[in-house]
Structure 1
Amino acid sequence: MGKKNDEGSRVRDALRITGELPDPGSAPVGPGKKPKALAKLGTASERLSALQEALYAEGVGGGERNVLLVLQGMDTSGKGGTVSHVLGLVNPMGVHYSGFKAPTAAERRHHYLWRIRKQLPVPGQIGVFDRSHYEDILVPRVSGLLSAEERRRRYSEINAFEKELTDGGTTVVKVFLHISPEEQLKRLKARLETPEKHWKYNPGDLEARSHWPAYQKAYADIFKKTSTDYAPWHVVPADHKWYRNWAVAELLIETLTELDPKFPQPDYDVDAELAKLKGVGVPA
């Protein structure tokens, strides 16, 4: 096991959900000001990139481990922005991104985990779920389409599913991007006032916003029932984009540092190959 990054360990410990959520505009651990957070994110880039390259190489060499980052949050909490600013720091060849919208008619003919399983990362990859299997509890619950008995069954199924993943070599990092209703309103307004952001706006977002208390209650229940030792939930205050990006980057860095991925050993004689190269000329 590799040596843990002290700051990363504090991030994981400080942001793990164990009770009441922090203020969406707070900075529970790490930099409390934007300039410092941006500077730290800049230095985090090299660490995250190096660790991801080692994990990818390990997978190419026959390793079985990977990481799955699950991002959940209310509309405008920054799931897409997190993917762009954090996963954009690493080689895209080692990243598998999946964004889950409302299931299609074809997908509804299967068990709700069917489409999730199809998008799981392979060995060596960092998988990213922009929304996830938890939407299959959240939306139908708030819409009144899921009974208490059915919710309990899905909690059990999801816990078993995530245990299966971790037993198979996947490290699951579940993150709730915690935004305030006040900040969400600002971001929705900005999308309407900025032509270049019109494509981001969905009139349905206002419908979801009208059920804000119900969604918060549903999330609280999810955290209580599905935060396990093998797949715990973490909360990242998301009112400040600079803090959100730094915190998620550090969560990934700490996770990868603990995994301590190794570059595979070559299956050839390095010295012999170097000797061959000495006699190789420039092609005519």
Structure 2
Amino acid sequence: MRRHELTGSEWELLAPLIPSAGRGRPRAEDRRVVNGMVYKIRTGVSWRDLPERYGPWKSVYTRFRRYAIDGVFTQALQQIQAQADAAGDIDWLVQIDSTIVRAHQHSAATGRKGGSIGDEPDDHALGRSRGGLTTKIHLACDGRGRPLAILLTPGQRHDGVCAQPLLERIRVPRTGQGRPRCRPNHMIADKAYSSRGFRVYLRRRGIGHTIPEKNDQKQHRRNRGRRGGRPAGFDLEIYRRRNTVERCFNQLKGFRGIATRYEKTATSYEAAVTLASLLLWARSV
């Protein structure tokens, strides 16, 4: 094993999750190709600059792109989550937050005219914020700091708008019969998610939540008197655990290919983030 490659235990866990080869000529060794993908997102190098030990760079890129479009990494992540949930290893005290990622100039050169292809968004999850061209990663993680759901948007998109779509992406399958688990026991978020509409949505789904109230919302409620309703419940001890999602972002951004976006399409970049999340889970189970 070399630096930035899978350990033996990590490969034993991931190998059954990689799709088997179909008919035709034998393809490149799976472990070598996946190691090339991991090296790429670990170091942030260009696909053309992959070391020769991973084989032709185009073969590694083609496989990565195919997996990204087919959602292979997402399915593999859900399978690992299902195994952990069956073993009672998931802490369903879920935290949500977002982080801004600077987009490299190469990622903006999509070269596409006339919209998107397939599930690719028209804007490729690229937007302009105060930092220039950016992408925002919205993340929901469990109480042990492992990603449960990921959502990419342009960098200027407000967190509160994406809270509901992010939670609806949490989908942990059952190992036996039954519907996938989609509802946390409790959710923690910061003031950016403090809106009446989102709180109503959480109550309807029966999700307990700890979200601090903004000062202007408090004042507006006081000004309305009895019609303003009761203050939102807030438990400071539970809220102190919100640093878990920040530590999860810190681990994801340890991958240089995640900390800076080099991928041109949102599909490829989301696949890279999902692969990094998969490695975080592989280390913890």
Structure number having the greater helix percentage? 1
Query: Larger RCO: Structure 1 or Structure 2 (Cα < 8 Å, ≥ 6 residues apart)?
Result: 1
Task: Report if TM-score (shorter chain) is over 0.5.
Answer: no
Per the shorter chain, which TM-score range?
0.3 to 0.5
TM-score, length basis structure 2: 0.34
